């Protein structure tokens, strides 16, 4: 099957509430990575929607500086979507309506984070165990007037999968779209996704359902769509390793090399963030993108030792300038 054939039956625009997305290939919110520059890169390469890093409603309430940095955006961003984490319906509603989020078109509610301290505090995937509170949070966020989406999992444990049931709770509360990670909370980030559970959820609701989990190639994405009947796919960690996956999936023409992409990322990050943040982010992104490049391991220590942007530019050139895209 040719790439064009795959695209013809797979990639299309999709509506989320009152917002039209250019494609149904989404980039997941990833802590430490989906800052404004990376989101702009993913959009340029064909992604239809990218989310901010997970942003705590409680931290926002206290005007935490590090949290405010997660919300950097500009009018150039095609669609502005924030991912909000919280377990209190009144706090979530207040933050959804607040000036902090006034520039965002979409609020995504995190109901999938499996991390123990998040789970114990009744946030993230813990909300799947409390459908009443989950529904109250969705209704409260909807009162902001923005489109509201939910990211969840197929269940908490392997012996209790309830994606369809939870999908109905979300739709009834007013969610405009649902992204389902095919793994349970206990699986964390490993193991084969339960595609049949995503398919059950898709059959149970009329809002768009996006499939997430275990997508590390175009073939994986095509298989996920075929097995689940989902309305789109969400790429996560593989988008960092190979940002070109978005152009490969959507047919968006990109003639830039990895070196040029990283150079542009560095410039854009330095324009909006301080040097410490820029160094940290660019080291992590470069490290992901050099994973499959032969002969680059010897530069890794030098990459992480770089103490200035000039030094970092030099190392990025050594790793990427003469290699393939």
Topology (CATH level 3) of domain 3-250: TIM Barrel (3.20.20)
Please, is 122 exposed, middle or buried when counting C-beta atoms within 10 Å of its C-beta (0-12, 13-18, 19+)? middle
Q: What is the pTM of this model?
A: 0.93
Q: What is the pLDDT of residues 165-215, one digit of tens each?
A: 999 999 999 999 999 999 988 888 888 889 999 999 999 999 999 999 999
Residue in 55, 113, 141, 152 annotated catalytic: 113
Q: What is the pLDDT of residues 108-124, one digit of tens each?
A: 999 999 999 999 999 99
Q: Mean of the pLDDT values across residues 119-146?
A: 97
Q: Is the pLDDT of residue 6 over 50?
A: no
Cβ density class 125-143: b for 16+ within 10 Å, e for less: bbbbbebebbbbbbbbbbe
Q: Assess contact for 234 and 40: CB atoms under 8 A.
A: no
Which 8-state DSSP code applies to residue 100?
A: G
Instruction: Parse the chain into domains and list their residue ranges.
Output: 3-250, 258-320
Annotation marks residue 254 as catalytic: no
Dump strand ranges (E) for 44-168. 49-56, 81-85, 106-111, 147-153, 155-157, 160-161
The dihedral sign for the CA sequence 152, 147, 86, 30: positive
């Amino acid at each position: 099957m040719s790439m064009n054939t795959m695209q013809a039956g797979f990639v299309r625009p999709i509506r989320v509430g009152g917002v039209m997305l250019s494609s149904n290939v989404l980039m997941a919110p990833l802590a430490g990575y989906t800052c404004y520059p990376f989101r702009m890169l993913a959009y340029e390469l064909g992604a239809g929607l990218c989310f901010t890093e997970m942003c705590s409603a409680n931290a926002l309430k206290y005007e935490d500086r590090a949290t405010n940095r997660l919300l950097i955006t500009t009018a150039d961003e095609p669609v502005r979507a924030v991912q909000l984490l919280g377990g209190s319906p009144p706090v979530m509603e207040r933050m959804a309506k607040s000036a902090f989020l006034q520039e965002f078109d979409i609020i995504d509610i995190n109901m999938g984070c499996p991390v123990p301290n998040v789970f114990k505090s009744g946030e993230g995937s813990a909300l799947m165990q409390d459908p009443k509170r989950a529904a109250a949070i969705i209704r409260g966020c909807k009162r902001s007037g923005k489109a509201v989406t939910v990211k969840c999992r197929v269940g908490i444990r392997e012996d209790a999968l309830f994606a369809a049931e939870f999908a109905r709770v979300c739709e009834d509360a007013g969610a405009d779209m649902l992204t389902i990670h095919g793994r349970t909370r206990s699986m964390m980030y490993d193991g084969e996704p339960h595609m049949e559970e995503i398919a059950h959820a898709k059959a149970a609701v009329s809002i768009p359902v996006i499939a997430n989990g275990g997508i590390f190639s175009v073939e994986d994405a095509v298989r996920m769509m075929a097995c689940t009947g989902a309305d789109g796919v969400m790429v996560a960690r593989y988008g960092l390793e190979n940002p070109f996956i978005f152009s490969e999936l959507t047919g968006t023409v990109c003639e830039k090399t990895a070196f040029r992409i990283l150079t542009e990322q560095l410039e854009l990050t330095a324009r909006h963030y301080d040097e410490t943040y820029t160094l940290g982010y660019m080291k992590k992104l470069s490290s992901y993108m050099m994973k499959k490049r032969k002969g680059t391991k010897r530069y890794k220590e030098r990459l992480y030792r770089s103490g200035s942007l000039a030094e970092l530019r030099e190392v990025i050139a050594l790793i990427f300038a003469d290699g393939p895209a």
